[in-house]
């Protein structure tokens, strides 16, 4: 099921970093660091707790793939992995998406309103 106005249902095929039968890895358009990307289920679902076991396993496989690719491409010192579940922090999408944000030595991570942080 897709939603007409959902950015994660209507992504550009050219933006796909990797894909499996249940999800895709896409670059984050409002990146917090070099390489920041999101793992998105193909099915329009708003909660991590509403995905099937098969979807969850495939999303975690994509998360691991994203980590491995980011390690090769950018050699970060670590990662911040997270997602918001439900309508909190003024989320702009009701489509589940998991952020993987590379962390670099000496670079502070500046979380923004997407994470409930005040500027």
* Catalytic site positions: 97
Q: CA angle, corner 26, sides to 24 and 29, nearest 5?
A: 155
Give pairs for 82-85: CB < 8 Å, separation 24+.
82/115, 83/48, 84/114, 84/115, 85/47, 85/48, 85/49
């Amino acid at each position: 099921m897709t939603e007409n106005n959902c950015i994660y249902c209507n992504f550009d095929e050219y933006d796909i970093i990797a894909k499996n039968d249940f999800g895709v890895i896409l670059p984050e358009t409002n990146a917090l660091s070099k390489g920041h990307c999101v793992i998105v289920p193909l099915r329009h679902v708003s909660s991590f707790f509403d995905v099937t076991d098969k979807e969850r396993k495939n999303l975690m496989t994509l998360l691991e793939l994203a980590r491995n690719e980011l390690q090769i491409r950018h050699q970060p010192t670590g990662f911040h992995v997270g997602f918001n579940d439900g309508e909190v922090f003024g989320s702009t999408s009701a489509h589940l998406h998991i952020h993987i944000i590379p962390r670099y030595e000496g670079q502070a991570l500046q979380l923004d309103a997407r994470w409930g942080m005040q500027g």
